[in-house]
Amino acid sequence: MKDDKPVGASRRSFIASALAGGASLATAAGTRRAHAADDPLITETQDWNRYLGDGVDAAPYGMPSGFEADVVRRDVAWLTADPVSSVNFTPLYALDGIITPNGLCFERHHAGVALIDPADHRLMIHGLVDTPLVFTLADLKRFPRENRVYFLECAANSGMEWRGAQLNGCQFTHGMLHCVMYTGVPLRTLLDEAGVKTSGKWLLAEGADASAMTRSIPIEKAMDDCLVAFAMNGEALRAEQGYPIRLCVPGWEGNMWVKWLRRLEVGDQPWAQREETSKYTDLLENGIARRHTFQMDVKSVITSPSPQAPVAHGSGPLVITGLAWTGGGTIKRVDVSIDGGRNWRTARLDGPSLPKALHRFYLDIDWDGSELLLQSRAIDDAGYIQPTKDELRAARGVNSIYHNNGIQTWQVRQDGVVENVEVS
């Protein structure tokens, strides 16, 4: 390990390479030195040095530091009439990496959170199958299981932004999004166990909550990469996310990921008349609705700086970071603009690049303190390029709620305050 540079040295060389001029380097380093000399936080004994802390059993289930109490799911009061059939939003602005902590995954319920004792839960497979089957959770845990990281995005994510910049924060504009490592049994395994008849073309998935929410899923997708999950990020599903089991439909709109999954019926056509599928259409300007727009399109957003994560430190080194994802596969490249889309720089993707999962990107700049118009543009491995909002409106009009994957603009003012704006 003798080749390892001391941390301080590599940090200094990073700053030296990140900063353009020698003058600003001197200022940045000088500020740091002056603070160290007479900083009471260094020279004085603090409470946390003086007193013993809590013992190991103070929190049998650990919670985030109290100093992070602001990092919570939030709702938009005027959006829905009541909290039972409603939605809240993931605080994307405060998170890093690609995994959403379980307690911060946004929630979307049509009839509130079903509270189910796993011993009382059943999953039935019937319809066009050779042998109708019923599984308990214990039964499911005896099948070979897999671990996979997937994003879930509600089709209505960014839906309030179709007509113009509206909500001031990526939590609200993009926060119907989470990315979790699921553990579960491939749906194919269970369907093979029941034996799908050749006439079986569609699958109806139904939840056990009071809305008995159902969605139709093409059998090819069901047999491809769907998962019946019982764990998220290593522990049992949260009640909010469908405990004890939920369906994962990777890359496809969140509505299809039926929570509290209790029934799978194999049929020969979609159940369009009696279920959610009929609602999830995109009304175009010419009055025709796009249907079966299941896959989520290539999309990205800068999470910091953003309205809830303003720049607090003035000019100098600034980390611009965000998330990119595509229902089609992996993200190949993310470009970032600091001037409203006139010039683009390739961002650095960091962390794993997994299919149908979030990707984390960074652009490390030396901010000169002038106003910025930040944008990110994702390109996926199929070659799809995230469109501008104007391009999207030209193709779809403004009657849509769903599938808004347009490029988001944040204006960073000289004082570091950030606003949701649009440029054209």
Ligand X SMILES: Nc1nc2c(c(=O)[nH]1)N[C@H]1C(S)=C(S)[C@@H](COP(=O)(O)O)O[C@H]1N2
Residue nearest ligand X (C-beta atom) = 207
Least distance to Mo ion, CB of residue 190, Å: 24
Give the CA radius of gyration of the chain: 24
Q: Which is nearer to ligand X, 89 or 162 (CB)?
A: 89
Listed ranges 147-155, 160-168, 226-234, 238-246: which one lies at the site for Mo ion (CB under 5 A): 147-155
Q: Which is nearer to ligand X, 80 or 343 (CB)?
A: 80
Q: Which is nearer to ligand X, 154 or 378 (CB)?
A: 154
Least distance to ligand X, CB of residue 423, Å: 29
Least distance to ligand X, CB of residue 355, Å: 20
Q: Which is nearer to ligand X, 178 or 332 (CB)?
A: 178
Q: How far apart are CA 300 and CA 234, in angstroms?
A: 26
Least distance to Mo ion, CB of residue 102, Å: 19
* Residue 262 structure tokens: 């209790």
Q: Which is nearer to ligand X, 225 or 253 (CB)?
A: 253
Q: How far apart are CA 76 and CA 89, in angstroms?
A: 9
Backbone angles phi, psi at 92, to 5 degrees: -55, -30
Q: Binding of Mo ion at residue 277 (CB under 5 A)?
A: no
Q: Which is nearer to ligand X, 86 or 399 (CB)?
A: 86
Contacts with ligand X, residue ranges (CB under 6 A): 105-110, 152, 154, 178, 207, 209, 211, 213, 240-241, 254-255, 257-260
Say which entry of Mo ion, ligand X, none residue 207 contacts (CB below 5 to 8 A, set by partner kind).
ligand X
Q: Binding of Mo ion at residue 108 (CB under 5 A)?
A: yes
Q: Binding of Mo ion at residue 183 (CB under 5 A)?
A: no
What residues pair up with 361 in beta bridges, in sequence order?
A: 322, 349
Q: Which is nearer to ligand X, 116 or 309 (CB)?
A: 116
Least distance to ligand X, CB of residue 271, Å: 15
Q: Binding of Mo ion at residue 254 (CB under 5 A)?
A: yes
Spatial CB neighbours of 402, under 8 Å, sequence gap ≥ 6: 155, 156, 159, 253, 280, 281, 282, 293
The contact pattern for Mo ion, residues 26-65, with x = CB under 5 A and - = no contact, is ----------------------------------------
Q: How far apart are CA 126 and CA 267, in angstroms?
A: 9
Q: Which is nearer to ligand X, 209 or 275 (CB)?
A: 209
Least distance to Mo ion, CB of residue 229, Å: 17
Which of residues 255, 304, 330, 388 is near Mo ion by CB under 5 A?
Answer: 255
Is residue 300 within 8 Å of residue 344, measured between CB atoms?
no
Beta strands of 80-160 (E only): which ranges? 86-87, 108-109, 123-127, 133-135, 146-153
Least distance to ligand X, CB of residue 99, Å: 14
Q: How far apart are CA 342 and CA 66, in angstroms?
A: 42
Q: Which is nearer to Mo ion, 114 or 154 (CB)?
A: 154
To the nearest 10 degrees (0 to 180), the angle between helices 7-18 and 22-37 is 140
Q: How far apart are CA 106 and CA 100, in angstroms?
A: 9
Say which entry of Mo ion, ligand X, none residue 107 contacts (CB below 5 to 8 A, set by partner kind).
ligand X
Q: Binding of Mo ion at residue 154 (CB under 5 A)?
A: yes
Say which entry of ligand X, Mo ion, none residue 109 contacts (CB below 5 to 8 A, set by partner kind).
ligand X
DSSP code, position 4: P
Is residue 420 within 8 Å of residue 307, measured between CB atoms?
yes
Say which entry of Mo ion, ligand X, none residue 209 contacts (CB below 5 to 8 A, set by partner kind).
ligand X
DSSP code, position 41: H
Task: Of 388, 224, 345, give the one whose Cα is nearest residue 294.
Answer: 224
Q: How far apart are CA 356 and CA 325, in angstroms?
A: 7
What per-residue string of b and e applies to 147-159 under the rule 16 or more CB within 10 Å gives b?
A: ebbbbbbbbbbbb
Is residue 169 within 8 Å of residue 306, measured between CB atoms?
yes
Least distance to ligand X, CB of residue 157, Å: 8
Q: How far apart are CA 104 and CA 12, in angstroms?
A: 35
Least distance to Mo ion, CB of residue 289, Å: 17
Residue nearest Mo ion (C-beta atom) = 154
Least distance to ligand X, CB of residue 391, Å: 25
- Angle at the Cα of 327 from the Cα atoms of 94 and 110, rounded to 5 degrees: 70
Q: Which is nearer to Mo ion, 154 or 323 (CB)?
A: 154
The size of the interface with Mo ion (CB under 5 A), counted in residues, is: 4
Residues of the shown chain interacting with Mo ion in the complex, contacts defined by CB under 5 A:
108, 154, 254-255
